[in-house]
Amino acid sequence: MRRAHKGFGIRGYGMTPYDNGNGSGKPAGKTTTTARPSRDEAEAAVETILRWIGEDTSREGLVGTPGRVVRAWEEFCAGYDEDPADMLSSTFEEVEGYDDMVMLRSIRMESHCEHHMVPILGVAHIAYMPNRRVVGISKLARVLDSFSKRLQTQETLTAQVADCIQNALQPRGVAVLIDAQHQCMTTRGVRKPDVSMVTTRFTGAFQTDGDLQARFMSQARMA
């Protein structure tokens, strides 16, 4: 379900990247709403940054760059206009009683750090234990994309994906592992290019059954 307000959202302008505990991607409570900047204002802000770093915004290579940057950020942050739970609303029950783990490995993940607005790049492994019904496997990747196309922390993203699947499908358990590199660390600051961050979230059977959790982790390592 697309929200009527098009374009990328900004916290404080009526939308938030956080799930706030309801697992849907929608704000749980009331948010502060103020007038949202226009596209022209957004492009002017980009031009200001270009001039601030010492660029000549009239030179050939930068003519049109503010508009391109704004369009790019609309794409990077398209998740603000989506409800990830809606992507899991269509399920299938004719699965011949299948009740074992369903897992997607090595799903490409691209997001942006909310602290420095630079890329977070990595892979996600997502699994769930069905409870009488399953969902099309592409929908799991779409849920990941919807949450990742917002300004994020990896910890929050991991929890949002797991909680959304748990709340929407009511499976016997969900497991999410994300392994990603943060360019706020690899290309600036401490500049450690070979470091990746791993986060996990387990619910239900994956949280209580050590053997099941170990099987998930083993299959994730095989990717």
Q: What is the tens place of the pLDDT at every residue in 109-162?
A: 999 999 999 999 999 999 999 998 899 999 999 999 999 999 999 999 999 999
**Mean pLDDT across the chain, nearest whole number?**
87
Burial 112-122 (b: 16+ CB within 10 A, else e): bbbeeeebbbb
Q: What is the pLDDT of residue 132?
A: 85
Q: What is the pLDDT of residue 34?
A: 73
In tens, the pLDDT along 32-43 reads 567 889 999 999
Q: What is the pLDDT of residue 128?
A: 97
pLDDT above 80 (res 86): yes
Top-confidence residue, 7 or 59: 59
Which domains does the chain carry?
96-221 (3.30.1130.10)
φ, ψ (nearest 5 deg) of residue 196: -120, 160
pTM: 0.83
Mean of the pLDDT values across residues 74-98? 92
pLDDT above 90 (res 69): yes
